[in-house]
Amino acid sequence: MITVGIVGASGYTGGEALRILLRHPGAQIVQATSESNAGHYVYAIHPNLRKQCQLKFIPISELHPCDVLFLCLPHGSAMRRIGQLEGMAKTIIDLSADFRLRNPADYPAWYGHPHEAPQYLERFVYGIPELHREAITRGKFITGAGCLATTSILGLMPLFKHDVLAKREVFIEAKVGSSAAGDTPHLSTHHPERSGSVRSFQPTGHRHTAEIVQELSFGAPPTVHFSATAIEAVRGVLTTSHVFLKDGIEEKDVWKVYRAEYGTEPFIRIVKERQGIYRYPEPKILAGTNFCDIGFEKDPRGSRLVVMAALDNLVKGAAGNGVQAMNVACGLPETTGLEFPGLHPV
Amino acid sequence: MITVGIVGASGYTGGEALRILLRHPGAQIVQATSESNAGHYVYAIHPNLRKQCQLKFIPISELHPCDVLFLCLPHGSAMRRIGQLEGMAKTIIDLSADFRLRNPADYPAWYGHPHEAPQYLERFVYGIPELHREAITRGKFITGAGCLATTSILGLMPLFKHDVLAKREVFIEAKVGSSAAGDTPHLSTHHPERSGSVRSFQPTGHRHTAEIVQELSFGAPPTVHFSATAIEAVRGVLTTSHVFLKDGIEEKDVWKVYRAEYGTEPFIRIVKERQGIYRYPEPKILAGTNFCDIGFEKDPRGSRLVVMAALDNLVKGAAGNGVQAMNVACGLPETTGLEFPGLHPV
Amino acid sequence: MITVGIVGASGYTGGEALRILLRHPGAQIVQATSESNAGHYVYAIHPNLRKQCQLKFIPISELHPCDVLFLCLPHGSAMRRIGQLEGMAKTIIDLSADFRLRNPADYPAWYGHPHEAPQYLERFVYGIPELHREAITRGKFITGAGCLATTSILGLMPLFKHDVLAKREVFIEAKVGSSAAGDTPHLSTHHPERSGSVRSFQPTGHRHTAEIVQELSFGAPPTVHFSATAIEAVRGVLTTSHVFLKDGIEEKDVWKVYRAEYGTEPFIRIVKERQGIYRYPEPKILAGTNFCDIGFEKDPRGSRLVVMAALDNLVKGAAGNGVQAMNVACGLPETTGLEFPGLHPV
Amino acid sequence: MITVGIVGASGYTGGEALRILLRHPGAQIVQATSESNAGHYVYAIHPNLRKQCQLKFIPISELHPCDVLFLCLPHGSAMRRIGQLEGMAKTIIDLSADFRLRNPADYPAWYGHPHEAPQYLERFVYGIPELHREAITRGKFITGAGCLATTSILGLMPLFKHDVLAKREVFIEAKVGSSAAGDTPHLSTHHPERSGSVRSFQPTGHRHTAEIVQELSFGAPPTVHFSATAIEAVRGVLTTSHVFLKDGIEEKDVWKVYRAEYGTEPFIRIVKERQGIYRYPEPKILAGTNFCDIGFEKDPRGSRLVVMAALDNLVKGAAGNGVQAMNVACGLPETTGLEFPGLHPV
C-alpha cells in the first residue's frame, strides 16, 4: 500500500486528489495539509467527502515522510518549498505550474518573474503519461500539466509528431469552466457576474501557451496562436484547434495517426460520429472522469483540419492525471482508481 | 422634469434604479453616489450602461439637493444617515430594510439590533403601490419592500383581505436567484459553489417574515411559516404558498377575489392556464420587468390552495417598485419608465 | 456472478442502471433491451459508456433468462408485460410506477386508469432498503420508488415512525431537475424554454403523493400537502417539508430519532452544520451518488420543523436504489457498486 | 404610423419582432400569422406578451396589405412565397436565409439545393445598416443576416475594408446559445442533453460562411475558416476571430479604423478595457438589446489580432436588426423602438 500525502488539500485540485485517492485500492492518504483549515475535517471543505473520510487537515509543518507527495499549492509556492519537501517522499507530484517548463527563461517570459529553484527544472518530468510514460517510470519528480495545455497537447500531438501538417502552426480556442480559476472568491467569479458569461479572459498571452509550444516541438517549436474564453460551466475544457494538413492527407490518414498514438491508451477516446448528438467530444459527460476525448473534421473546402479535445480540468487536467502518473511511477495498473465512467445525462 | 439622485448606486439595486431611470421620460438622474467608485463612470461597474450614460459616481459628501432621492445603501446604513439626508430631497425612497417595519421592537427581534432612528418608522410608507397607493401619494418617506416579502404579500394579500381563508396561517417556500445576495463576493456566491445549487439558506427565521406578517395583518397577525431556498438563477423569485380555503370557496371565488384587488393593476397578471408550458408564473420571463405574476390551484382532494407568485427581485422586488412608487408620489402615470415587457425565450 | 438484464435500457433510468452495473464487481450485464435502438451499441445512446461497454441493444423479444431483471420501461408498460417477464429471472426489479402502490384503487385515483395486473401488487415489495430491508431479502418482486417520493419519505419517515409530530400532516415542496421528465423531447423540455425555469408543474395532485401517504402510514395515513416545482438542474431533488413537533420535542430529540433510524445506514447522511456553505443537503454534490442527505431546522419561533432532503433522482431516486435493493436481495454487501462519492465543486 | 405585418410570428424571431414592434412608437402591428396557432392569442406562445398584446394569430391566407412585412418563416419557405407576398407591402424584410446571398450558385453550394426564385436575389439588400445603410434607404426588399454572420462581419469589416491585414484570411470560432436552433424540440435541444453542453455542431461547412465571404470581399473574397460551437446560454453569440496585421500596424491604428467605421454608429460599442471584469464584449449583458459589442487585442508576441464580437442572436442577429433596417428604410430615427439597454447582473 502506497502512502500518500496531499499538500494544499483544501483547494479544488487537492480536493479532487482526495476524492480519487480515497477510493484508490493501492494507495492510502495518510495526511492532507491546509494552513487555513488545519484542525478541521476535510469534509468541512469538500462536502462530497462527508462520511467518506475522517481525515483532518494538518499544517504543512506537521507533514511527515510518505511514499508519494502531491503538491497542490498555488502557483509560485512549490518552487519555494521544493528544497524542504524533496526529502519527504520518494515521489513528488507537483500539480502547480512551477516545474512544467524546461527552460528557466520561460518563467520570466510567461510568468513575469524568474524561477526561484531553476536547478530542479531539468529533474522534473512533464507528467502526461501519454507523452512521457517512460520517463515517468524512472522519475522522482513529476509535474502536472496545465489543464488547457493538456487538452491542446493531447489533441494535437499526433499531428505534429507524425508530420502530417503543412505548417507547424496552430490556432487554438480554449473554452473553460469556472473551477479552473480556483477556490478564492473574486468579483470575476461572483455568481451574478460569472453565471452565463462568455468571457474572453485571455485572448492572447495565456501562460499555458509555453507548455504547448514545449510539448509540440518535434524538431522545432511550432507557432501557437492561443485564446481562452471562460464559459458557463463549473468543470470542463473544450479546445477547438485549426491546423492545415499536407496535400494528400485525408481524414482516413488522420485516423491512422491518432490510432497509432492512442490506440492502446486507456484514457484517450477518439470521438467522431456521423450521427447522434454526441458526434464530437463533449466536456460535460467527462465531469469526474480521467478521459480526454478527441475528435476532428477536415474542411471539405480546403486542407484545414479542426481538432476538438475535451476533458475535466480538475481530473485529466490536474489531479486525475497526477494519479495516473503516480500509478505509472509506482508500477500499478495505470487506470487504478480512475475508473469512474462519467454521467449521462448531466 | 423630476431630478433624481441615487445614493449607493454601485450595487445591484442602485444599478437597476440607474437603468430604469435613464430611460424615464419624466425623470433625470442628476447624481449617483458610490464611496468606493467615486470618480469612475457608472458604466465601469454597470457594463450595460456603456454608451447610455456619461455620469460618474460621486461620494455621498458631494450630494446636493434634488427632487427624489433613492437610497440603495446596505441594510443598517440608511437609518444612520436619514437625519442628514432628509433635507436633500422632497421625496426619499429607501430600498433597504431600515424603515420597512412599523414596530421598532421588530428590529431587535428580526434584525438583531435596536433601530437607530425609530422616530422615522411611522413616517415611512411601506411603498408597494398595490397596497398603499393612497398613502404613497401623500408621503415624503417611502420604503421599498423585501423582494421575498413583496412576492409573498402580493400573492396572498387578496386572500387575507377578503377573508376567504379557513385559518390565518400560511406556509411559504421562496426560491430565489443569486443577485438577491448583493454584489459582494463570498465563498457562498463563488461560481463553482453557487452554480447549480439548491441551497436551503434560511429554512426558518428569514427577516422578510416580519414584513409579511405586518402587511397581511388584516385584523390580526397571521401565522407565517416561511422558508427560503437559493436556486440556480441570477434574477427571479418564485414563492409557493399553501393556505386553506373556507368551506365552499372554490377556484371561481378565488378568481373573483384576485380580480377585485388586481383587475386594474398594471403590474399584476393572473397567470393560470389549462394548457401550454407557461401555465403558472415563471420568474425567468419577468427578468427586467416590473410585473408580479400570480397563479393559484386548488387541491381537488381538499381545501388547500397553492398560490404561486413570481417577480424579478431587482425590479418589482426593489428598484422597479421604487420607481413605480415615485411615479405615484409625483403624480406621473404609474407605468412610466417601466414598460419593458420581458424576453422570451430567455 | 449475478447475471443481469435491463429491459428498456435506452432511457435515463436504464442508462444509469447500465453505468452502475458495468462497474459492479458482483454482477454482469448480459443483455439490455431497446426496441427503437436494437442493433446499436449502448454507447450510441449513452455516450459516457463509450469504451466502457461493447454491448448492443436487443429487442425485448430476444431476452433470455438471467438472475436479475431490471425493468426500466415507461409507466404503464411493465404491468402489461409482467406475466410474460416473470419467468425470465429469479428477481424482478421494476423501476416504473406500475407496482408501487399496494391498493389497486390507488391506480384509478392517482394514475387515471385501472391497474391491468392487480394480482401482482401484493407480491411486490416497495424497494427502499431503509424501509423494507427485511422484505426485500425475501422478495422476488421488488419495485422502485418515485424519486420525489423517496426523497420525501426518507426525510420524514423517522418523525412519523417515532411519533414525535403534533399532527400527522406535512407540507412538502419538491424541487426537481429536468432528467426526471425522461428522455423524450417536448416543448416543455426544449432548452430555450426549460433553461433557467422555475416551473410549478404540479402544485397539487402529484402522483407520488400516493406513495408518500402509503409509506408514512404508521398507524394511520397522514395528510400530505405536496407541490412540485421544476428548477434549473439536470439531476437532483430537494424536498422542503414542514411538520409540527409535539410540545417539548427539541432539535436534540429529533437528532436522536434520525440517529435511531439511520445511524448505521450507509447511504443516509444527516447534514446539519452551524457554519460553512453546505450546512444543509445540497443535491448538486450528490449527482451520480446513491446518497440521500437529510437535514432539519426547528423554527425558534414555534414548533415547526423544516426537513430538507436531497438525492439524485436517477440514482437513489431510481437505478442506484434498485441496485442497492438487488444487493440486499442477493446477499451482497449493500454498497457494492455504489461507492461513487460525488464531485465537488460541480 | 407604419402598419406592420409579421409572417411566421410564432417562432423565436417572429416573437422578438412582436416584442420590439409592440413598443415601437412609429409602427403598429396589424397582423401576425402562424399556421399552427391561428386563432390563438400571441401571448399563448410568447408568454412575455401577456397583458401587452391582444392580437391573435391568423393564417397566412388571411393576410392583407400593409406598409412593412416581416417574413420570419423557416429557411426555404420565403423563396417559395415571395411572388405571392411581394404585392402585400411596400417594404419586405425577410429574416430567413433565402435572399442573403447574391450569387445564385451559392445556394446549391452551401444550402444543398438550387434557389427557387433567383431573379429576386439581386433585388434584395443585405440588410445590415452599418454596411448598407444607403441601399436600405432605397430598397423595397431587405434581407436579414445570419446571426453568426452578423457578429463575424461587424467584428471584422473595418479591418478588411481599411486594408490593415497582412493576409485576407481569418479564423473564426463562434459560440452560440440554444435559441439560434429555433423553437422546434429535438433530442439535441432536450434540456438534459443540451444543458451545460459545449457542442461542436459545425466545425466546418457552416452556411453563414458564405455570407461572411460575401460581405468581407473588399476587392477579393477572403479565406474564412469558420467553426461553430453551441454553449450553455439561451441567447447570445460571441465570435473569437484571428487575423494578422500588416507590419507596423499597432493597436492604436486598429482603434482608428474602428472609430472611422463605427464612431457614430448607435448600436456598435468598442469594448476594450484595461481593468474590471467586463473588459471585452460579453453577450449576456446584451440579451434583449440591439447592440453589437466589439473588442480586440493584439498579441504582443506577434502580429496576430484577436477580435471578439458579441450580440443577441434574436435581436441584432435577427429581429432587432430588421427593425433597425425598417427604421432606415422608412426614414425614422434609427434607434426607434430599440432603446432597451440590457440588464446587469443577469
Inter-chain residue contact B190 with A189, CB threshold 8 Å: yes
Which pLDDT score is estimated for B162? 98
Gap between the Cα atoms of D226 and B223, Å rounded: 61
Asked if the C-beta of A276 comes within 8 angstroms of chain C's C-beta atoms, the answer is: yes
DSSP-based three-state secondary structure for B242: strand
Neighbors of chain A with 3 or more C-beta pairs under 8 Å: B, C, D
Q: Which residue of D has its CA nearest to A306?
A: D203
D-interface mutation test, from B10, B16, B20, B50, most D Cβ less than 10 A away: B50
Minimal CA separation from D306 to chain A, in Å: 6
Q: Which residue of D has its CA nearest to B315?
A: D343
- Select from C12, C48, C339 the Cβ nearest to the Cβ of A342: C48
User: CA torsion, points B294, B300, B301, B307, in degrees to nearest 10?
Assistant: 0
CB C90 within 8 A of CB C65: no
Gap between the Cα atoms of C306 and D310, Å rounded: 45
- C143-C149-C153 Cα angle (round to 5): 100
Inter-chain residue contact C236 with B203, CB threshold 8 Å: no
- Cell (9 digits) for A25: 485500492
C-interface mutation test, from D190, D193, D199, D314, most C Cβ less than 10 A away: D190
Per-window interface: C 5-24 vs B, CB < 8 A:
none
Q: Count CB-CB contacts under 10 A for residue D64.
A: 10
Inter-chain residue contact D235 with B19, CB threshold 8 Å: no
Which pLDDT score is estimated for D240? 98
> What rounded mean pLDDT belongs to chain B?
98
Name the H helices within B128-207. Answer: 129-138, 147-161, 191-194
- Cell (9 digits) for B66: 434634488
Asked if the C-beta of D192 comes within 8 angstroms of chain B's C-beta atoms, the answer is: no
* Residue corresponding to grid cell 417539548: C248
Residues of chain C positioned with their CB less than 8 A from the CB of D181: 192
Which pLDDT score is estimated for D320? 98
Residues in chain A where the model's pLDDT stays below 50: none
Asked if the C-beta of D119 comes within 8 angstroms of chain A's C-beta atoms, the answer is: no
pLDDT, average across residues B130-140:
97
User: CA torsion, points A331, A333, A336, A341, in degrees to nearest 10?
Assistant: 150
- Residue A64: enclosing H or E segment and its boundaries? none
Residue B84 β-bridge partners: none
How many residues are listed for chain B in this entry? 346
Nearest by Cα to B226 from B132, B133, B149, B138? B149
A147 belongs to the catalytic site: yes
- Cell (9 digits) for A99: 516545474
Inter-chain residue contact A287 with C47, CB threshold 8 Å: no
CB A313 within 8 A of CB A12: no
* Interstrand relation of D66-71 and D89-94 (parallel, antiparallel or unpaired): parallel
Per-window interface: D 241-270 vs B, CB < 8 A:
269
Q: How far is CA D113 from CA C279, D118, D144, in A?
A: 60, 12, 20
Which pLDDT score is estimated for C70? 98
CB D317 within 8 A of CB D251: no
Report CA C113 to chain centroid distance, whole Å: 23
pLDDT band at B238 (very low <50, low <70, confident <90, very high): very high
Q: For residue D166, what are the contacts with CB-CB under 8 A and spacing of at least 6?
A: D244, D245, D246, D247, D303
Q: For residue A135, what are the contacts with CB-CB under 8 A and spacing of at least 6?
A: A125
Please determine, looking at this structure, whether the domain spanning B2-145+315-330 carries the CATH number 3.40.50.720.
Answer: yes
Amino acid identity, position D339: E
pLDDT, average across residues B327-342:
98
Q: What is the CA radius of gyration of chain C?
A: 20
Q: Which residue of A has its CA nearest to D210?
A: A301
CB B115 within 8 A of CB B106: no
Residues of chain B positioned with their CB less than 8 A from the CB of C250: none
Which pLDDT score is estimated for C346? 97
How many residues are listed for chain C in this entry? 346
Backbone angles phi, psi at C234, to 5 degrees: -95, -50
Backbone angles phi, psi at D143, to 5 degrees: -110, 140
D-interface mutation test, from C46, C178, C190, C312, most D Cβ less than 10 A away: C190
Asked if the C-beta of C346 comes within 8 angstroms of chain B's C-beta atoms, the answer is: yes
Neighbors of chain D with 3 or more C-beta pairs under 8 Å: A, B, C
- Sign (positive or negative) of CA dihedral C246, C249, C254, C257: negative
Inter-chain residue contact A191 with B194, CB threshold 8 Å: yes
Q: Of B53, B66, B147, B292, which residue is the catalytic one?
A: B147
Architecture of domain D148-311: 2-Layer Sandwich (3.30)
pLDDT band at B326 (very low <50, low <70, confident <90, very high): very high
Per-window interface: A 160-189 vs C, CB < 8 A:
179, 183
Per-position pLDDT tens, chain D of length 346: 999 999 999 999 999 999 999 999 999 999 999 999 999 999 999 999 999 999 999 999 999 999 999 999 999 999 999 999 999 999 999 999 999 999 999 999 999 999 999 999 999 999 999 999 999 999 999 999 999 999 999 999 999 999 999 999 999 999 999 999 999 999 999 999 999 999 999 999 999 999 999 999 999 999 999 999 999 999 999 999 999 999 999 999 999 999 999 999 999 999 999 999 999 999 999 999 999 999 999 999 999 999 999 999 999 999 999 999 999 999 999 999 999 999 999 9
CB C292 within 8 A of CB C265: no
Name the H helices within chain A. Answer: 12-22, 78-85, 106, 129-138, 147-161, 191-194, 208-215, 251-262, 320-330
Asked if the C-beta of A122 comes within 8 angstroms of chain D's C-beta atoms, the answer is: no
Name the H helices within C189-336. Answer: 191-194, 208-215, 251-262, 320-330
CB C43 within 8 A of CB C50: yes
Which pLDDT score is estimated for B256? 98
- Residue A272: enclosing H or E segment and its boundaries? none
Asked if the C-beta of C287 comes within 8 angstroms of chain A's C-beta atoms, the answer is: yes
Q: Confirm whether A2-143+315-330 and A148-311 share one CATH topology.
A: no
Q: C2-144+315-330 in CATH: which number?
A: 3.40.50.720
Backbone angles phi, psi at D238, to 5 degrees: -130, 125
Per-position pLDDT tens, chain C of length 346: 999 999 999 999 999 999 999 999 999 999 999 999 999 999 999 999 999 999 999 999 999 999 999 999 999 999 999 999 999 999 999 999 999 999 999 999 999 999 999 999 999 999 999 999 999 999 999 999 999 999 999 999 999 999 999 999 999 999 999 999 999 999 999 999 999 999 999 999 999 999 999 999 999 999 999 999 999 999 999 999 999 999 999 999 999 999 999 999 999 999 999 999 999 999 999 999 999 999 999 999 999 999 999 999 999 999 999 999 999 999 999 999 999 999 999 9
Residues of chain C positioned with their CB less than 8 A from the CB of B302: 223, 225
DSSP-based three-state secondary structure for B107: helix
Q: Which residue of B has its CA nearest to A231?
A: B191
Q: Which residues of A46-74 are buried (b: 16+ CB within 10 A; e: fewer)?
A: bbbbbbbbebbbbebeebeebbbbbbbbe
CB C329 within 8 A of CB C139: yes
Neighbors of chain C with 3 or more C-beta pairs under 8 Å: A, B, D
Q: How far is CA A33 from CA A49, A56, A88, A184, D227, in A?
A: 16, 8, 14, 17, 44
Q: Which residue of B has its CA nearest to D40?
A: B276
Inter-chain residue contact D238 with A200, CB threshold 8 Å: yes
> Where along chain B do its domains lie?
2-145+315-330, 148-311
ipTM over 0.95: yes
Gap between the Cα atoms of C327 and D227, Å rounded: 48
DSSP one-letter code for A31: E
Residue C108: burial class (beta carbons within 10 Å; 0-12, 13-18, 19+): exposed
CB B166 within 8 A of CB B244: yes
How many residues are listed for chain A in this entry? 346
pLDDT, average across residues B264-293:
98
- Residue D293: enclosing H or E segment and its boundaries? strand D292-298
- Sign (positive or negative) of CA dihedral A198, A203, A207, A211: positive
Inter-chain residue contact A232 with D229, CB threshold 8 Å: no
Q: What is the CA radius of gyration of chain D?
A: 20
Nearest by Cα to A173 from A117, A219, A212? A212
Q: Of D53, D66, D72, D147, which residue is the catalytic one?
A: D147
Name the H helices within chain D. Answer: 12-22, 78-85, 106, 129-138, 147-161, 191-194, 208-215, 251-262, 320-330
pLDDT band at B6 (very low <50, low <70, confident <90, very high): very high
- Cell (9 digits) for D96: 430567413
Please determine, looking at this structure, whether the domain spanning A2-143+315-330 carries the CATH number 3.40.50.300.
Answer: no
The answer to whether the predicted template modeling score (pTM) of the entire model surpasses 0.90 is yes
- Cell (9 digits) for D294: 466589439
Q: Of C53, C147, C292, C330, which residue is the catalytic one?
A: C147
Inter-chain residue contact D205 with A300, CB threshold 8 Å: yes
- Select from D187, D196, D234 the Cβ nearest to the Cβ of C192: D234
* Residue corresponding to grid cell 444612520: B80
